[in-house]
């Protein structure tokens, strides 16, 4: 072999080595991107849920949620579509309608275990229709905001350790009016900063209704075409999926050291009274001003970290 041939062979060898390394790097980068978890939200909303829905969508999109399914209880709603127009066009939100005859559709879709619960029907429909698109699906309402205490961590990364679990339990932190009589400017997160953060108190409440003060993020890997979901968690063949709290415990002790579900249950007095005109109950409780004042009374802790995050997310 001549020197020129030897040199040429070395050049070809180096070329293929570099090419292989480049392809391997690109493949590894592509694989890590492909492995990023897809997290979605299913939420059943009505006409009284639209006032703060854009802030709710923006916030959870920033948190890493890739798709939000709005299951609207009612007929075609122009105000809803106008409000969510840009999110629908960019693919962040999909709107699906439940007719007023939703109970008749139970027989069509076979969701008989939901009984006379429109919300259960809507969430179950959402899970069964779209679970194949996502790794995790959160079943929350528009007045509930997922809060991760470490603002540098997004929701997909937080959920990564739960890939072999049935789901993650989120415990409520219930917020009061924070002294607002009229509807304040600047959104929910900036204005409502007083909540109940007494773990013992919330555990005592939950002991009489263990899942009544939690919501869940379900791992779709453990669901199938027969899974159904109530507003608090999903069930498989009559048994609840194995949900775990933030410390990977199966017990129902209230914990929100790293993650919580901020539940802005009453907001301002104006918001509360407006909501009361559309419904005579909130979460099974009869709606009146006594209820408003009760929630306000127990919401005495400083829970302003969400306000700080809102300023970081959306600016001043």
Q: Is residue 249 part of a domain?
A: yes
- Check if the beta carbon of residue 310 is closer than 8 Å to that of residue 59: yes
129-143 tens-digit pLDDT: 999 999 999 999 999
pLDDT of residue 169: 93
Helices (H), the chain: 3-34, 53-62, 78-83, 85-89, 105-109, 118-130, 155-159, 188-191, 199-208, 269-276, 289-298, 305-314
Structure tokens at 140: 């929350």
Please determine, for residue 251, whether its predicted confidence score (pLDDT) is greater than 80. no
- Its pTM stands at 0.82
Please determine, for residue 51, whether its predicted confidence score (pLDDT) is greater than 80. yes
Q: Is residue 10 part of a domain?
A: no
Structural domain span for residue 52: 38-314
Residue 155 CA: distances (Å) to CA of 148, 170, 270: 8, 12, 32
- Check if the beta carbon of residue 208 is closer than 8 Å to that of residue 202: no
pLDDT of residue 316: 59
Structure tokens at 135: 């790794």
- Check if the beta carbon of residue 171 is closer than 8 Å to that of residue 144: no
Element (H, E) at 110: none
Structure tokens at 35: 């492995």
Question: How many structural domains is the chain composed of?
Answer: 1
Instruction: Count the residues in the chain.
Output: 316
- The span from the first CA to the last CA of the chain, in angstroms, equals 72
Please determine, for residue 16, whether its predicted confidence score (pLDDT) is greater than 50. no
In whole angstroms, give the CA distance from residue 140 to residue 214.
10
130 against 282, higher pLDDT: 130
- The CATH number of whichever domain residue 290 belongs to comes to 3.90.550
In whole angstroms, give the CA distance from residue 5 to residue 167.
62
Q: Is residue 245 part of a domain?
A: yes
Q: Is residue 214 part of a domain?
A: yes
Report the chain's C-alpha Rg in angstroms.
24
pLDDT of residue 46: 81
Closest CA to 173 of 53, 56, 59, 260: 260
Q: Is residue 170 part of a domain?
A: yes
Q: Is residue 188 part of a domain?
A: yes
From the number of C-beta atoms within 10 Å of its C-beta (0-12, 13-18, 19+), residue 48 rates as: middle
Range of lowest pLDDT (18-32, 139-153, 198-212): 18-32
Helix 53-62 × helix 305-314 angle, to 10°: 80
Q: Is residue 27 part of a domain?
A: no
Q: Is residue 14 part of a domain?
A: no
């Amino acid at each position: 072999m001549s020197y020129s041939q030897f040199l040429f062979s070395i050049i070809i060898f180096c070329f293929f080595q570099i090419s292989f390394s480049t392809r391997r790097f690109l493949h590894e980068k592509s694989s890590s991107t492909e492995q990023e978890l897809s997290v979605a939200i299913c939420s059943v909303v009505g006409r009284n849920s639209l006032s703060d829905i854009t802030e709710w969508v923006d916030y959870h999109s920033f948190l890493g949620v890739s798709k939000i399914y709005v299951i609207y209880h009612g007929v075609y709603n122009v105000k809803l579509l106008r409000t969510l127009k840009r999110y629908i066009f960019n693919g962040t939100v999909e709107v699906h309608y439940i007719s007023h005859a939703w109970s008749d559709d139970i027989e069509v879709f076979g969701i008989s275990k939901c009984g006379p619960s429109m919300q259960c029907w809507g969430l179950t429909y959402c899970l069964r229709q779209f679970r194949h698109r996502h790794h995790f699906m959160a079943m929350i309402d528009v007045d509930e905001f997922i809060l991760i205490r470490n603002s540098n961590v997004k929701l997909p990364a937080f959920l990564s350790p739960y890939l072999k679990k049935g789901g993650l339990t989120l415990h409520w932190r219930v917020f009061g009016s924070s002294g607002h009589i009229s509807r304040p400017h600047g959104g929910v997160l900036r204005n409502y900063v007083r909540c109940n953060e007494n773990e013992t108190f919330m555990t005592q409440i939950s002991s009489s209704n263990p899942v009544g003060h939690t919501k869940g993020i379900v791992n779709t890997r453990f669901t199938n075409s027969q899974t159904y979901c109530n507003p608090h968690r999903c069930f498989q063949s009559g048994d609840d999926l194995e949900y775990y709290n933030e410390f990977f415990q199966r017990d129902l002790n209230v914990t929100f050291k790293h993650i919580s579900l901020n539940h802005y249950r009453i907001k301002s007095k104006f918001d509360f009274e407006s909501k009361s005109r559309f419904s005579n109950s909130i979460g099974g409780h009869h709606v009146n001003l006594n209820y408003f004042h009760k929630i306000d009374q127990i919401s005495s802790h400083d829970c302003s970290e969400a306000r700080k995050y809102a300023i970081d997310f959306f600016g001043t």
